[in-house]
């Protein structure tokens, strides 16, 4: 199983509809591409002012706008590089086509952990 926790940091002022769309796009890609279980949706979507969401506007030659967002996902280890690349592409493509986010403005970071690093409640490590 691929237990994900998604933290999505966006510039302030985005609509509730935009937030729902971004959350849905990330969740669907986790399920479809990385094999996360259906209904395993744990997301934190947070708005930040330009003083609190700081990204270099040209790092690696990528021209980022003030609308750039960060998606950080903690999940179980074990995916191939090809799967990760497919996930990055799917999220960027879907954010672009469905939420009008420039692909250049999609920053994604995966943090892989061992299965015993999760407790879904009751103080129990359900997957240890």
**pLDDT of res. 126:** 84
Q: For 68-91, what is the mean pLDDT?
A: 96
> ∠ CA(28), CA(96), CA(66), 5° rounding?
115
Mean pLDDT of the chain: 94
pTM tops 0.75 = yes
- Count how many Cα atoms sit within 13 Å of the Cα of residue 62 in the half-sphere of its side chain: 14
> Per-domain residue ranges for the chain?
4-117
Determine what percent of the chain is predicted with pLDDT higher than 70: 98
pLDDT of residue 2: 61
Rounded to an integer, the average pLDDT of 54-59 is 96
Q: What is the pLDDT of residue 14?
A: 97
Q: For 7, list phi and psi in degrees, rounded to 5.
A: -110, 120
Class of the CATH domain delimited by 4-117 = alpha beta
Torsion sign across C-alpha atoms 13, 30, 33, 9: positive
């Amino acid at each position: 199983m691929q237990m994900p926790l998604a933290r999505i940091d966006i510039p302030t002022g985005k609509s509730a509809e935009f937030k729902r769309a971004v959350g849905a796009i990330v969740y669907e890609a986790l399920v479809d591409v990385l094999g996360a279980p259906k209904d395993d949706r744990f997301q934190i979507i947070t708005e930040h002012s330009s003083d609190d969401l700081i990204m270099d506007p040209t790092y690696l030659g990528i021209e980022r706008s003030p609308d750039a967002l960060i998606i950080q996902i903690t999940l179980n280890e074990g995916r191939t590089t090809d799967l990760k690349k497919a996930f990055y592409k799917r999220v960027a493509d879907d954010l672009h086509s469905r939420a009008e986010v420039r692909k250049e403005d999609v920053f994604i970071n995966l943090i892989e952990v061992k299965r015993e690093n999760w407790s879904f409640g009751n103080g129990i490590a359900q997957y240890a």
